[in-house]
A and B are shown apart, each in its own frame.
Chain A
């Protein structure tokens, strides 16, 4: 192990809590995200337990509604949105750019505390009576009907939004201004392109959901009537404002995962990404077109058929850049030198699950079919395939890929592969039956359901218990590796990229000498000499 690392530079509690080192901040985010993933997972377990039987016999309907709401709120706002940018993004961006830190280190630390404060506020809402609006906060239920703690929860999400905005802003400035000498835009790793596209959405979209939350809160606190039909307000306007952010938010979750997949495939196949510029621009394409498709959430909400047509065709079109990425990744594998280590196994799982998640999106873009499947378990299955099968599988691949860089140690390779396989199997068993239950007509957010759907729900709950094992294992063997893992060395995969050009773990200032970049991304010299490039 190197003697001078960001981990041992200072060891007091204060040196962690007040750190401005992007790497330490990333680790604190990882801890926070893992914690909220645990809470969200606990709520998921309650949901799956309740749904084993058709009768609502485990939880009361009121409790069940609060449980699925909190599952959604925790997972969307406090896990999936910060998932990759705040953790791996924070850790890697300055390393990949060959710089010492992000542009605004203090702001970065502030983002973390804002995230913590916002999430604790929302946790407080659970104690203060819970929240039963669904994570979507639809009006007028959230404004005039619900008696639960809407304001504390909404305020927590509002505060958390600042964390997301500030991180996005910080990354954009960093990418524009902090690149190492010689590191031109088209030499950037694709993960950086993905982070840039993500940041763009965070900066442009988050403020809109922030103001929407302010309007809902104003209606609840002051009794203003902005979405209230009783004074002539329009409850559907809320949905437009909400989805203007919350649909692109899906791309905040998936784009960074796509970036991770590009890195892992390139590193594990030791090969340049096929069609680099197509993969890079497809990220921007998704970010931009992704802002124009929000209306597909409202095909049955009484919008005009002509706006429905426009939203439908744009939704179909936004599928193309995602398809282009998948094809390019597959082509990258051709004639690679492919390692079968854990990150690659997770990526293979990602490819399978994301293909299903993406293609089932077409069912929902297809207006005439969306009428039947929207608001059913089909939707639930679809977005879990994208968010868990896509974003979380990507995150897991990334954590395993950069773990040696982050900690300087290797985890147990066998357990890593086994956990990837268990997650893949458990995930499919959990969510594939939900497609079928959904098409058979089972509505989402149902506490009790018709007997006919029980077989799918039992399968799904069984799958969830396997999935729980799959997600608990990495927690254990990764923790174990922190003290007992094999020393990894600077570049255990024999990959290229600036982050592999420094020690593992890196020193606080990232590089011992300022890197100067004279090569393209993923340019492998022939042959690889030893394990160091």
Chain B
């Protein structure tokens, strides 16, 4: 065994969070962060597949997509955008608090982040209900109501809308689960200024989910709104 490695190992041997196969907490954290970034790359490609379908159909049916997207109320979407941006801020503050070791602040900021996340999901549920009332659900055997001219491609638009926002909402729900876990870890005192990687990589995930929404909002709600109904 190399002497350097042995010394490094001994120095941190007592820290309970250090896994046996890492030499130091730093090395362990670097690995975790790299792993999370790679995971986010897979997430980009996951959403990317659905966005490819969106792009292709948008080119095929530009008018139908413009008309269909202008059927979606902007206000709830805009509020949700603000809610998520705010939650990213509180998440960043939670990570900062973890770095400085202020446990109370970590708990408060994560709690606020979770409340904002839940608010987002509530507003999303309201929007889905609106779609149901308006007859804009293109499946489940429900009646789909849309002007005759765009009846078919509008179903494609709303299918993509529900797939993308549904997957995003699922990621939010998973995010709330992760945040609950972080609350537990913090309360148990696992999170310290030496070991806050869990909070940091959870934060990366949370920011990523926010960024997905930042793309979805213009793509689904905003683009083509100015195009008035053709004909």
Contacts and interface: CB of A to CB of B under 8 A. Distances in A.
A touches B (Cβ under 8 A): yes
Interface of A: 94, 99-101, 103-105, 107, 165, 169-170, 172-173, 176-178, 181, 203-208, 210-212, 214-215, 218-219, 222-226, 230-234, 237, 240-241, 244, 509, 513-514, 516
What is the size category of the interface that chain B forms with chain A?
Answer: 35 or more
Given A176-B31, A513-B1, A514-B1, 13 more contacts: A169-B39, A173-B34, A181-B2, A207-B43, A207-B46, A211-B48, A224-B139, A224-B159, A225-B152, A225-B156, A226-B156, A231-B152, A240-B52
B31 A103 contact: yes
Nearest to B159: A224
A354 to B, nearest CB: 29
B138 A232 contact: no
A223 B56 contact: no
Contact of A170 (B6, B35, B43): B35
B49 A173 contact: no
B45 interface: yes
B160 interface: yes
A516 B6 CA distance: 13
B10 to A, nearest CB: 13
Given A223-B141, A225-B159, A231-B156, A211 B49 contact: yes
A462 B1 CA distance: 56
A513 B44 CA distance: 41
B73 interface: no
Contacts of B4: 181
B30 interface: yes
Interface of B: 1-2, 4-6, 19-21, 27, 30-32, 34-35, 38-39, 41-50, 52-53, 56-57, 60-61, 138-141, 152-153, 155-156, 159-160, 162-163, 167
Contact of A208 (B6, B27, B45, B152): B45
Contacts of B44: 207
Contacts of A105: 19, 21
A326 to B, nearest CB: 31
Contacts of B139: 218, 222-225
Contacts of B53: 215, 226, 237, 241
A222 B5 contact: no
Given A210-B46, A232-B61, A241-B52, A169 B21 contact: no
Contacts of B19: 105
Contacts of B42: 165, 169, 203-204, 206-207
